[in-house]
Amino acid sequence: MRPVFYDLHIHSCLSPCGDMDMTPNNILNMALLKELDLIALTDHNSSKNCPALLRAAEGSGLTVLPGMELTTAEEVHVVCLFPALENAMDFDGYVHERLPDIDNVPEIFGPQQILDWRDEPAGLEQKLLINATTIEISDLPALVRGYGGFCYPAHIDRASNSVLSNLGFIPPECAFRALEVANPEAFFADGRNQAYKEGYAIVTSSDAHYLENLSEREHCIHLDTVDFEGLAKRLA
């Protein structure tokens, strides 16, 4: 195994409230500047900027996974990761049909910009991506596996849109093997919440909506291979 420095929860300018500087090439270059080994693009309820980032990253030495931060029917945020772009985009189509038909309001949430690999405009997402889908959390792990991926609850220690804040517990039927904790120092301080540390793999990522918020070279996981398969062995 080798140490791998990662950030598995990054938003682009496609996400509501994502900064317009969060373009594929800017994300790539910031990750390279911070000497990360593995990142994932996880926009709210969409993977439509993953094609651009994966192409931009070709030959860079940085491993990029296509993903999504899905909002369940219970308004719980869940990180979903996939082995290949085709899987992610098929899942994207499924999720898009399960978002409410509510238009984005660019003046409030931003334009939800889709870009190509050169950071040139390629379209706008019309549906408001911040809304909850109709997908229930109990159904999500099996659904994501059907598309070849795996998933885990995002920022469980936050006061909103987390599995603990919204449900009060982690549904056992989901059989999650990993949890994202935004601030592990506080969450596990004084011996608190040790059951989560003992029962799950814990990851910490940036949830960056701004370039400066991408993780530094500080969060490390040991993997056999720096790719989806290596990560899935540890987290799925």
Q: How confident is the model at residue 184 (pLDDT cuts 50, 70, 90)?
A: very high
Q: How confident is the model at residue 229 (pLDDT cuts 50, 70, 90)?
A: very high
Q: How confident is the model at residue 45 (pLDDT cuts 50, 70, 90)?
A: very high
Question: For the chain, what is the mean pLDDT?
Answer: 98
Q: 10 Å Cβ neighbour count for 50?
A: 26
Q: How confident is the model at residue 127 (pLDDT cuts 50, 70, 90)?
A: very high
pLDDT given at position 87: 99
pLDDT given at position 178: 98
126's CB contacts (< 8 A; 6+ apart) are 103, 104, 112
Rg of the chain over Cα atoms, rounded to whole angstroms, equals: 16
10, containing H or E segment: strand 2-10
Alpha-helical regions (H) of the chain = 24-33, 50-56, 85-96, 106-109, 140-146, 163-166, 184-187, 194-199, 228-235
CA 126 from centroid of its chain's CA atoms = 21
Beta-bridge partner residues of 68? 80
CB of 196 closer than 8 Å to CB of 182:
no
Q: Rounded to a whole number, what is the distance in angstroms from the first to the last CA of the chain? A: 17
The proportion of the chain whose per-residue pLDDT surpasses 70, expressed as a percent, equals 100
Q: How confident is the model at residue 152 (pLDDT cuts 50, 70, 90)?
A: very high
Q: 10 Å Cβ neighbour count for 205?
A: 22
pLDDT given at position 158: 98
Beta-bridge partner residues of 164? none
Residue 191 in tokens: 């011996």
| Mean pLDDT confidence for 115-123 | 98
User: Which among 81, 101, 78, 104 is positioned nearest to 91, based on CA atoms?
Assistant: 81
Entry pTM = 0.98
Residue 231 in tokens: 């990560």
pLDDT given at position 81: 99
235's CB contacts (< 8 A; 6+ apart) are 150, 152, 177, 178, 201, 203
pLDDT given at position 78: 99
Domains and CATH numbers, the chain: 2-235 (3.20.20.140)
Is 154 in a helix, a strand, or coil? coil
Q: 10 Å Cβ neighbour count for 90?
A: 16
Residue type, 140: L
Q: How confident is the model at residue 204 (pLDDT cuts 50, 70, 90)?
A: very high
For the chain, what's the residue count?
Answer: 236
